[in-house]
Amino acid sequence: MARGKKIALYAAAMTALAGTFALYLRPDFLVDLSNQVWACF
């Protein structure tokens, strides 16, 4: 695997993890999301 591609994959993974962590700082969003998911069932 090319070095640049590997760095890009690591950067994408870190961005996804940072985004997930940022959402955990907003509990109201998580409640709304869980309600939407629960409404599908």
Give the model's pLDDT for residue 29: 87
**How far is Cα 12 from Cα 23, in angstroms, rounded to an integer?**
17
User: Which residues span the domain enclosing 8?
Assistant: 3-39
Give the model's pLDDT for residue 9: 96
Give the model's pLDDT for residue 7: 95
Give the model's pLDDT for residue 41: 87
Q: Spell out the per-residue pLDDT of the chain, length 41, in tens.
A: 699 899 999 999 999 999 989 988 988 988 998 999 999 98
Give the model's pLDDT for residue 30: 85
Give the model's pLDDT for residue 24: 87
DSSP the chain: --HHHHHHHHHHHHHHHHHHHHHHT-HHHHHHHHHHHHHT-
Total domains in the fold of the chain: 1
Total residues found in the chain within this entry: 41
Which of 13-31 are b and which e, b meaning 16 or more Cβ less than 10 Å from the residue's Cβ? eeeeeeeeeeeeeeeeeee
